[in-house]
Amino acid sequence: MKELQYKRVLLKLSGEALVGKQGFGIDAEAVSQIAGEVAEVHRLGVEMALVIGGGNIYRGVENSITGIDRSSADYMGMLATVINGLALQDALEKKGADTRVMTAIEMPRLCELYIRRRATRHLEKGRVVIFVAGTGNPYFTTDTAAALRAMEVEAEVILKATKVDGIYSADPLKDKNAKKFDELSYLDVLQKGIRVMDATAVSLCMENKLPVIVFDLFKHGNIKRVLFGEKLGSIVRDKEE
């Protein structure tokens, strides 16, 4: 029988993962499907932390271009991640998982303020912890928030869930000649400008030798397969590993 390769992980989800077939907002069926996959591996004893984006509701960067102040736009995007986090919490609890939503911006009626030691304690007690509101600061993406939180709670790997089955030289949905990379170093990603995570997030992972596995979220069982060490998707890690 295969053994779990990772005990504590951080799963990075884009807001678009919650859209489903709607094209915008939150699709209850899509959220339930994701929650089911997370709850399944959580029951195996994996300590699960999640960071969720807000692009299905609001994109700070894009809207700042249209005239909204960048800081204001980014804070609006952070609030969108809180909405998504609460939706995930509800779906996970319906699947039987004990959860906590922790926010980088104080809103005590909705969720706990993020405190590193408390977050770690929740994980140790078997709770799925959902980190929302990014880093709490404008000009930083939820990718950077994922890298930061993963290191703070000492996650062993970041699982970057996407709509394609790994890292490509171009968007495989638009370019049939796009080349898939099974493995890349952090420097490869930075120097070639490959869009895995933003440069700040990749640099943080590189400094702390935190691997990132990019895989297809929408194929049933993929989270479980990754955690049991199956070779799928693409991995970004130090070449010496």
What pLDDT, on a 0 to 100 scale, did the predictor assign at position 49?
98
- Any domain includes 1: no
- Any domain includes 194: yes
User: Of 32-36, 50-54, 166-170, where does mean pLDDT reach its minimum?
Assistant: 166-170
Q: Report the CATH number at residue 198.
A: 3.40.1160.10
Residue 60's pLDDT band, with cuts at 50, 70 and 90, is low
| Beta bridge partners of residue 157, listed in sequence order | 9
Q: What is the pTM of this model?
A: 0.93
Return all residues near 200 (Cβ < 8 A) that are at least 6 apart: 140, 141, 143, 144, 147
- C-beta of residue 211 within 8 angstroms of C-beta of residue 241: yes
Closest by Cα among 85, 204, 195 to 133: 85
Q: Which domain holds residue 99?
A: 8-236
Above 70 in pLDDT, residue 159?
Answer: yes
Return all residues near 33 (Cβ < 8 A) that are at least 6 apart: none
- Any domain includes 130: yes
- Any domain includes 3: no
- Any domain includes 241: no
How many domains in the chain? 1
What pLDDT, on a 0 to 100 scale, did the predictor assign at position 144?
97
What pLDDT, on a 0 to 100 scale, did the predictor assign at position 174?
85
